Amino acid sequence: MENMKWASPLLAFALLAGCTAPPPQVGGQIPDKVYGRVISLSPSITELVALLNATNLLVGRTSVDTRPSYIKGVTIVANPTPDIEMIVKLQPDLVLVEENLINPAELEKLQSQKGFDVVVLDIDSIQDWEDSVTKLGVLLQAHSRASEVIDRVHQARANAILPKSTYRPKVMVAMSASPPWVAGTGSYQADVVRAAGGEPVGPPTDRFVAFSPESIIKLNPDIIFVSADVSKFSGPEWEAIRAGKDGEIIQVNEDTLLRTGADLEQLIAAMSKEIRRVGSNR
């Protein structure tokens, strides 16, 4: 996945109210608890913890947490199923879970344990991403950093706005070619496409689903961003669509495209570059 066409890559002020008030807090509220031992059961959440410069709090992670590289020394507690016994042994005070990546029965087991809080994050849109970063900023005492990274995403979105006269390309996101698995128009990936100036096309769902070649041909996208090798997207069914004919099936780093993690700002900017280029040529 390293051979890519392009690389991956408010503040609220608490006011003093006399000598009995707490000191001013910049960037957010004072949490009910201060956490010092955190376990992440999602690669995307681990990336967000790192984005907030809070990896020093991590004591557990999953076996597929690959970024940033310096978290490799953190104990693996899920492969892929969470090892409840190991989690308890590590004595965390906070376990972070991504709703889409955990079985409800496993989540129930975690929540039944005593001694730590379980926080579930659900990221299906850019607004969900921002809300999750804000929440993590409060939980991990990284308010100012959370505000900073959200501001950068807002700037990336502002930079991606297309001129009214520019054609808005139809964009599909896929993660495999045979059979095709395509991101739905209600997914996080589709929301990133919108932010980057494109019109997302695909099945009417909030996740990746199997999608027939005939359906793809009918939608006829101008661009397809894929996480697999572009050479796999070959054959008559792919050559029958505009993106295939024009050579606009573009490979993106798998982690950057599929995870709801630290690369949102870069993903918007990179998609915008391609969408703007294609749109200006129509």
Summarize pLDDT for 56-107 with one digit per residue, the tens.
999 999 999 989 999 999 999 999 899 999 999 999 999 999 998 899 999 9
Q: What is the pLDDT of residue 100?
A: 87
pLDDT confidence of 32, banded at 50, 70, 90? confident
What average pLDDT does range 23-43 have in this prediction? 73
At which of 112, 130, 155 does a domain end?
155
Q: Are residues 276 and 179 in the same domain?
A: yes
Specify the pLDDT at position 27.
46
Q: Which pLDDT band holds residue 222 (cuts at 50, 70, 90)?
A: very high
What is the structure's pLDDT at 10? 29
Contact 224, 249 (CB under 8 A): yes
Spatial contact of 187 and 201, defined as CB atoms under 8 Å apart: no
Residues 197, 91 share a domain: no
Rounded mean pLDDT of 148-158? Answer: 98
* pLDDT bracket for residue 2 (50, 70, 90): very low
**Could you give the CA distance from residue 233 to residue 256 in angstroms, rounded to a whole number?**
19
Among the residue ranges 17-26, 101-110, 230-239, 247-256, the one predicted with the least confidence is 17-26
Do both 151 and 216 map to the same domain?
no
Query: How far is it, in rounded angstroms, from Cα 210 to Cα 213?
Result: 10
**182 and 120 inside one domain:** no
The model's confidence at residue 153, banded by pLDDT at 50, 70 and 90, is very high
Look at residue 22 and tell me whether its pLDDT is greater than 70.
no
The answer to whether residues 49 and 119 touch, using CB atoms and an 8 Å cutoff, is no
**What pLDDT was estimated at residue 281?**
85
Altogether, the residues listed in the chain come to a count of 282
Q: Which has the minimum average pLDDT: 39-43, 183-187, 234-238?
A: 234-238
10: in domain? no
Percent of the chain with pLDDT over 90: 83
Q: Quote the pLDDT of residue 31.
A: 60
Mean residue pLDDT across the chain: 89
- Region 182-200: mean pLDDT is 97
Which residue range is the domain that position 274 belongs to? 165-280
Domain-embedded: residue 55: yes
**In terms of domains, do 151 and 212 share one?**
no
Statement: residue 29 has pLDDT above 60? no
- Residue where a domain stops, chosen among 126, 155, 184: 155
Average pLDDT over residues 229-239: 92
Question: Is residue 160 in some structural domain?
Answer: no
Q: What is the pLDDT of residues 163-184, one digit of tens each?
A: 988 999 999 999 999 899 999 9
The distance from CA 155 to its chain's CA centroid, rounded to whole angstroms, is 17
Q: Same structural domain for residues 79 and 178?
A: no
pLDDT at residue number 30 = 61
57 with 102, same domain: the answer is yes
Q: What is the pLDDT of residue 5?
A: 36
Residue 30 in any domain: the answer is: no
**Residue 215 and residue 150 share a domain:** no
Asked whether residue 191 is assigned to any structural domain, the reply reads: yes
- The pLDDT of residue 282 is 79
- 173 and 149, same structural domain? no
pLDDT attached to residue 33: 83
pLDDT of 243 higher than 90: yes
Instruction: Select from 155, 178, 206 the last residue of a domain.
Output: 155
pLDDT of residue 80: 86
Q: Are residues 132 and 176 in the same domain?
A: no
Number of domains in the chain: 2
Which structure tokens are listed for 202?
Answer: 């695909």
Residue with tokens 């807090």: 25
Whether residue 243 lies inside any domain: the answer is yes
CATH of the domain at 240: 3.40.50.1980
Q: Is residue 32 part of a domain?
A: no
Looking at the structure, do residues 146 and 212 belong to the same domain, yes or no?
no
Residue 239 in domain = yes
Is 177 in the same domain as 223?
yes
Report yes or no: 174 and 180 within 8 Å, Cβ to Cβ: yes
